[in-house]
Amino acid sequence: MPADEIRAAIKELEQDITLASQIGDKQILVWKIQEKRFAEAALARRNGTAPPSQKDFWPEVLTAEQLINLPPDPTRWVWNECLPLRATSALIAKSYTGKSTFAASLAISVARGIEFLGRETQAGPVLYVYLDGPIDELKESFIGLGLTAADPVYVYAGRKPDKVLPWVKEQCLAHGCKLLIVDTAQKFFGFREDKYEEKINTMQPMLDLVDEHNFHALFTYHAAKNSANTVSALGSVAVEANARVSLYLRKLDDSPYRIFDTMQNSGKRFESIGLSDPKEGLLYKTGSLFDIELTVISDQILAAVAATPGITGKDLRNEIPGRWRFIGMATARLKTAGKLEWTGRGKKGDPEKYFLPGSIASEDQKTAKIIDLFSRPKSTPAE
């Protein structure tokens, strides 16, 4: 920053300090005094009045009282208590799990400054760099989520630009971006998956860039082919080690239901939650992992009952893989919702038998016809 701009900033801070003193706002006062000290130190270095050995960096320290009294910075988070400014994050998922849809929903939410999955966002322009497919795919995804011409979202899709880091810097600064999304990191950085040190060294300039220019960079990563219910980044652990936040997206037990959760060095972790169908527009929370598991078991129960009307609870437990407790709770919920009908008292010798709504009557009619057929008295020849 030029010296003239620093002087102007110092004058503005002096006015803020006077105002904070007049209204008695101690927290703001401490904060502004600290900012003024930093600005004065920077000006001293520019003017050459700082000691010769201290020209590069000579920060002030805080006392314990000043640290305790520092007010929370309302502009710290791009996505409240999840994605901080001056940091990077990793969105990790297997193919066809919805990484790009999730990232596009986040991009639109930040651009509009609206809540995303129940947490506020800080409004600001977003740059979305899509290196994993053609522009038509990106267009379809954004339009399906409701993108409008007024949204401050800037996109690029196609071949990776030459000197990609300077290009990204130029674009983010030109548009004043608060959030950069790169899909995918593997194509952006071009590192080899199994080289930990290479990943660290390759990603460090990006960490320096977001720290210097006060924005957040989210990178999508392909997940390793491990078990269905866990997700980790493909290759070494350098991805998660370098990110302030790791975001995980997965499908539950090969079902259409998607689960989202996070691991965070700061902020507040997202516990496992279900996500809505992208066809419905911007993503929203559909319930806890417990709710989604019950939904999956409920779908399986209804399918089993449709295939075998009159199936018993014991046969359901044999038919459906899963915990008995979930099957019992899901069955009770379906009965309460009127999605299952049943006969029997659920006791020994009289088990409950389950039917889809309206099918018990048809079963009774079939039974009546069979009984009628075999119980009809034989006719006697006329005398």
Residue 87 has pLDDT above 70, yes or no: yes
CATH number for position 370 = 1.10.10.10
Residues 261 and 303 in one domain: no
Distance CA 86, CA 216 (A): 6
The answer to whether the beta carbons of residues 87 and 209 sit under 8 Å apart is no
Residue 115 has pLDDT above 90, yes or no: yes
Q: If pLDDT is split at 50, 70 and 90, which confidence band does 284 have?
A: very high
Residues 43 and 86 in one domain: no
Please indicate, yes or no, if residue 118 is contained in any of the structural domains: yes
Q: If pLDDT is split at 50, 70 and 90, which confidence band does 242 have?
A: confident
Measured CA to CA in angstroms, residue 282 lies from 1, 103, 110 at distances of: 39, 10, 12
Which range is most confident: 22-36, 161-175, 235-249? 161-175
pTM here is 0.73
Last residue of a domain, one of 42, 69, 96: 69
Residues 81 and 37 in one domain: no
What pLDDT sits at residue 333? Answer: 93
- Name which residue leads in pLDDT, 151 or 239: 151
What is residue 249's three-state secondary structure? strand
Residues 6+ positions from 78 with CB-CB distance below 8 Å:
84, 85, 110, 121, 122, 124, 178, 179, 215, 216
Which range is most confident: 23-27, 123-127, 210-214? 123-127
Residue 107 has pLDDT above 70, yes or no: yes
Please indicate, yes or no, if residue 380 is contained in any of the structural domains: no
- Name which residue leads in pLDDT, 381 or 47: 47
What pLDDT sits at residue 348? Answer: 85
Structure tokens at 47: 């003017």
Distance CA 264, CA 245 (A): 5
Phi, psi of 65, rounded to the nearest 5 degrees: -65, -40
Q: Above pLDDT 70, what percent of the chain?
A: 79
Could you report the per-residue pLDDT of 177-189, keeping only the tens digit for each? Answer: 999 999 988 889 8
Please indicate, yes or no, if residue 87 is contained in any of the structural domains: yes
What pLDDT sits at residue 341? Answer: 93
What is residue 114's three-state secondary structure? coil
- Name which residue leads in pLDDT, 29 or 117: 117
Last residue of a domain, one of 69, 92, 121: 69
Which range is most confident: 8-12, 54-58, 147-151, 378-382? 147-151
What pLDDT sits at residue 377? Answer: 55
Please indicate, yes or no, if residue 175 is contained in any of the structural domains: yes
Residues 252 and 181 in one domain: yes
For the chain, what is the total number of helices (H) and then of strands (E)? 13, 14
353-355: strand order across its sheet: 311-312, 353-355, 341-343
Structure tokens at 75: 């502009």
What pLDDT sits at residue 25? Answer: 63
The DSSP secondary structure of 117-145, one letter per residue, reads TTB-B----EEEEE-SS-HHHHHHHHHHT
Distance CA 218, CA 105 (A): 13
Please indicate, yes or no, if residue 338 is contained in any of the structural domains: yes
Average pLDDT, the chain: 83
Q: If pLDDT is split at 50, 70 and 90, which confidence band does 319 have?
A: confident
Q: If pLDDT is split at 50, 70 and 90, which confidence band does 168 have?
A: very high
Could you report the per-residue pLDDT of 177-229, keeping only the tens digit for each? Answer: 999 999 988 889 887 666 666 677 788 889 999 999 999 999 998 887 664 55
What pLDDT sits at residue 321? Answer: 75
What pLDDT sits at residue 75? Answer: 79
Please indicate, yes or no, if residue 270 is contained in any of the structural domains: yes
Please indicate, yes or no, if residue 382 is contained in any of the structural domains: no
Residues 163 and 256 in one domain: yes
Last residue of a domain, one of 69, 94, 124: 69
What pLDDT sits at residue 371? Answer: 47
What pLDDT sits at residue 53? Answer: 45
The mean pLDDT of 300-326, rounded to a whole number, is 88
Please indicate, yes or no, if residue 381 is contained in any of the structural domains: no
Which range, of 83-92, 147-156, 193-202, averages the lowest pLDDT? 193-202
Q: If pLDDT is split at 50, 70 and 90, which confidence band does 22 have?
A: low
Residues 84 and 65 in one domain: no
Residues 107 and 192 in one domain: yes
What pLDDT sits at residue 82? Answer: 96
CATH number for position 115 = 3.40.50.300
Could you report the per-residue pLDDT of 34-82, keeping only the tens digit for each? Answer: 677 777 777 776 666 544 444 566 778 888 988 898 887 777 999 999 9
- The total domain count for the chain is 3
Measured CA to CA in angstroms, residue 298 lies from 188, 195, 320, 350, 361 at distances of: 42, 44, 10, 23, 23
Q: Above pLDDT 90, what percent of the chain?
A: 50
Task: Sort 134 into a burial class: Cβ within 10 Å, 0-12 / 13-18 / 19+.
Answer: exposed
Which range, of 112-116, 117-121, 226-230, averages the lowest pLDDT? 226-230
Identify the domain containing residue 113 by its residue range: 77-283
